[in-house]
Amino acid sequence: VTIMKRFNIEINYPIAINGEESVHLDSKVNVDILSQFDVLNWQRFRDVQLQLSDSKTSFTVTNNLTQQTIRLNLLADRRIDQIQFSLESDIEIMTKHKDFFGLFTRNSKDYIRFGSLNFSQAYAYLGLFLSEEIQSLETRYRFSLEKFIQAA
């Protein structure tokens, strides 16, 4: 009997660690992935990104059963002291957009993504993905879109 690894994890570092710029891991357990995310030295990676202009750090998880992926990208901004992330995914959702001065509404394909998350938010969203609570992620994304539209 072959046991399929539930998740693939890829961690891209801003600098080569042990000669490698990325590490690929397999896991069946959500807690292992959350622990791995938690123990990474994000502050050090942020400092390196600030020093090296084209370096990037990301934590990518793919669910082998659904083939859905999320990527947490470490953001490096000198104006902000705390660690921040953006979240990209290939999780499709349909959103409504108003066109022509708000007179027409059309549906369009979109992907769940978030622009600026603190560590706790990124950790929580990763946990939702690992628990396959995609509907909850979608709800939070729609809420963030509504807040953005209201602020505009």
Please give the DSSP secondary-structure letter assigned to residue 18. Answer: T
Residue 81 neighbours by CB under 8 Å, 6+ apart: none
Please give the Cα distance from 150 to 152 (Å, whole number): 5
Which tokens hold the place of 47? 């400092």
**SS3 annotation, 73-125:** EEECCCCCCCCEEEEEECCEEEEEEEECCCCEEEEEEEECCEEEEEHHHHHHH
Report the percent of the chain where pLDDT is more than 90: 47
* φ and ψ of 20, to 5 deg: -120, 135
pLDDT tens figures, 7-66:
999 999 877 555 557 777 776 667 788 999 999 999 999 998 888 877 889 999 999 999
| pTM as predicted | 0.84
Task: Write the single-letter amino acid at 69.
Answer: T
Section 78-92 average pLDDT: 93
